[in-house]
Amino acid sequence: MSGLFVTGTDTNCGKTQVSLGLMAALQARGWNLLGMKPVATGCAPSPAGLRNHDALQLLAQGSAPAPYRRVNPYAFAPPIAPHIAAAEAGVEIELGTIETAYRALEAQADRVVVEGAGGWRVPLGSGRFLSDIPKTLDLDVVLVIGLKLGCLNHARLTLEAIRSDGCRLAGWIANQLDPEMASRDANLATLHTLLDAPCLGVVPRLDPPVPDDLAGYIDPGPIEPPALP
């Protein structure tokens, strides 16, 4: 297994920031990393085609160049749910296309960090969900928990869904969304009791969220590959 799937408790919980920080933390330990955003909406037109800001950041953080279409096989303009955007574009999101792109990235890197879209059960259409991507690619999962009111419920439900799908939660990272969150430490303590997986870090609200700075709050030890080549 040479990849990780980064999912979140919800949309806008900080998956991209945490993915970039995780990549930087592993790169600081000498590993070659590439990022991937298989499905993205809210993409902007460019001379080369639709481009997604999150995917471009993952591409820039990578340890080696990679074709954009390999990093982001499915890009849609409207900032809406992927299955709706795909239907409007007359496109079917195929797991085989995503796997082909992933395997090519996998051949270039020690580890590929694959960022999801929204939460674990976001529909892709035709009975498929985002959760089918880590199952197809045999990826361990890192859960990003946006620290805000309601995160305890979302975190536990996501853990249960991950395990019911036969996937493994390799670890979780708490991301401070609300700097004034009431009882923050008590919520973190509760998360430790609700999630029987390693806590890889607690990321404060940073402005700007520079990957190398984010990496300082993430301990990739529990998910680090076993030995350098």
pLDDT tens, residue by residue, 57-111: 999 999 999 999 999 999 999 999 999 999 999 999 999 999 999 999 999 999 9
Tokens describing residue 110 = 């020690």
Q: Catalogue all structural domains in the chain, each as residue range(s) with its CATH number.
A: 3-38+95-221 (3.40.50.300)
pLDDT for residue 2 is more than 80: no
Residue 128 β-bridge partners: 125
Q: State the residue for tokens 């430490």.
A: 185
pLDDT for residue 148 is more than 80: yes
**According to the model, what pLDDT value does residue 226 have?**
66
Minimal CA–CA distance to 115: which of 102, 97, 100?
102
Residue 113 β-bridge partners: 4, 35
pLDDT for residue 160 is more than 70: yes
Q: State pLDDT tens for residues 6-44.
A: 999 999 999 999 999 999 999 999 999 999 999 999 999
The confidence band for 178, taking pLDDT boundaries of 50, 70 and 90, is: confident
Task: Show the beta-strand stretches assigned E in 15-155.
Answer: 33-36, 39-40, 74-75, 111-119, 123-125, 128-129, 140-147
pLDDT for residue 228 is more than 70: no
pLDDT for residue 227 is more than 70: no
Q: Is 37 part of the annotated catalytic residue set? A: yes
Q: What is the DSSP letter of 221?
A: G
User: Which of 15, 37, 135, 148 does the annotation list as catalytic?
Assistant: 37
Q: Residue 227 burial by CB count (10 A; 0-12/13-18/19+): exposed, middle or buried?
A: exposed
**According to the model, what pLDDT value does residue 225 have?**
74
**According to the model, what pLDDT value does residue 138 have?**
96
Q: State pLDDT tens for residues 109-127.
A: 999 999 999 999 999 999 9
As a whole-number percent, the residues of the chain with pLDDT over 70 amount to 98
